[in-house]
Amino acid sequence: MSENAFGKLHTIEIDREFYENAVHDYTSYLPSLLNYVEFHFGDFRTVYSSVLEKEGTVDFLILDGAEDGQQTLEQYSFFLPYMKPGTILMVHDWLTAKTELLKPILENSDVWEIQRVLTPPDSVGFVLALRKQ
Ligand SMILES: C[S@@+](CC[C@H](N)C(=O)[O-])C[C@H]1O[C@@H](n2cnc3c(N)ncnc32)[C@H](O)[C@@H]1O
């Protein structure tokens, strides 16, 4: 985004201390990227409704929420209407309970093509999928 001088990364945290740390660290160490990052505080379900309304579509989504398979599935369903062919979806903790409900959906989907899976020792599990249709 910085090289293209275009785009916006939205990131959210429900824990105030983590939220403040993120704002502080970007401000201290990555100030040149601040134009491209919008920090949100609160629950994704409430805060991101208006963000998605405004943005319309999501080009790139990373899911890395609570260690809760149901929440990850809920996140996926929440964002799905805003993802289009060409959207890239990355999901962290691909090998843990966090993704156990979403994993079979992506793996058996005609809509998503899994392009990369990182496994130990490189990662605790990270997947990259491309929306085909
Ligand atoms: C695994 S951590 C994310 C770590 C972060 N991606 C990183 O690499 O530093 C998951 C975070 O999701 C936050 N979280 C949990 N439920 C949330 C919700 N409903 N809305 C927004 N954030 C939430 C937690 O407070 C926690 O800090």
* Pair 81, 133 in one domain: yes
Q: Which of 56, 76, 96 is the last residue of a domain?
A: 56
- Asked whether residue 16 falls in the same domain as residue 49, the answer is yes
Mutational pocket test of ligand 1: of 13, 16, 74, 93, the residue with most ligand atoms within 8 Å of the beta carbon: 13
Token pair, residue 21, equals 């740390």
Average pLDDT of the chain to the nearest whole number: 97
The CATH number of the domain holding residue 95 is 3.40.50.150
**pLDDT tier at 109, thresholds 50, 70, 90:** very high
Are residues 64 and 100 located together in one domain of the fold? yes
- Provide the pLDDT confidence category of residue 10 given band limits of 50, 70 and 90: very high
Whether residue 63 is found in the same domain as residue 124: yes
Q: Which of 117, 12, 121 is nearest to 61 (CA)?
A: 12
Predicted local distance difference test score (pLDDT) of residue 128:
98
Q: How many domains does the chain have?
A: 2
Instruction: Indicate if 35 and 62 belong to the same structural domain.
Output: no
User: Cα–chain-centroid distance for residue 15?
Assistant: 17
36 with 61, same domain: the answer is no
Tell me: do 75 and 103 sit in the same domain: yes
- Which residue's structure tokens are 């130990």? 120
* pLDDT-based confidence at residue 101 (cuts at 50, 70, 90): very high
Among 31, 56, 81, the domain boundary falls at 56
Pocket of ligand 1, candidates 14, 99, 126: which has the most ligand atoms within 8 Å of its Cβ, to mutate? 14
Whether 86 and 106 map to the same domain: the answer is yes
Tell me the per-residue pLDDT of 75-93, one tens digit each, with 9 for 90 and over. 999 999 999 999 999 999 9
- C-alpha distance across the termini of the chain, in Å: 25
- Confidence class for position 57, pLDDT limits 50, 70, 90: very high
pLDDT of residue 53: 96
Q: Are residues 20 and 72 in the same domain?
A: no
Which residue owns the Cα nearest ligand 1 atom 8? 64
Cα distance between residue 100 and residue 80, in whole Å = 18
User: What is the span of the domain harbouring residue 111?
Assistant: 57-133
DSSP 32-53: GGGGGEEEEES-HHHHHHHHHH
> What's the confidence (pLDDT) of residue 7?
96
Q: Are 11 and 42 in a shared domain?
A: yes
| Interval 32-54: pLDDT, tens | 999 999 999 999 999 999 999 99
Using a 6 Å CB cutoff, which residues line ligand 1? 12-15, 18, 43-44, 64-66
- Mark whether 66 and 30 lie in a shared domain: no
Atom from ligand 1 closest to the CA of residue 15: 25
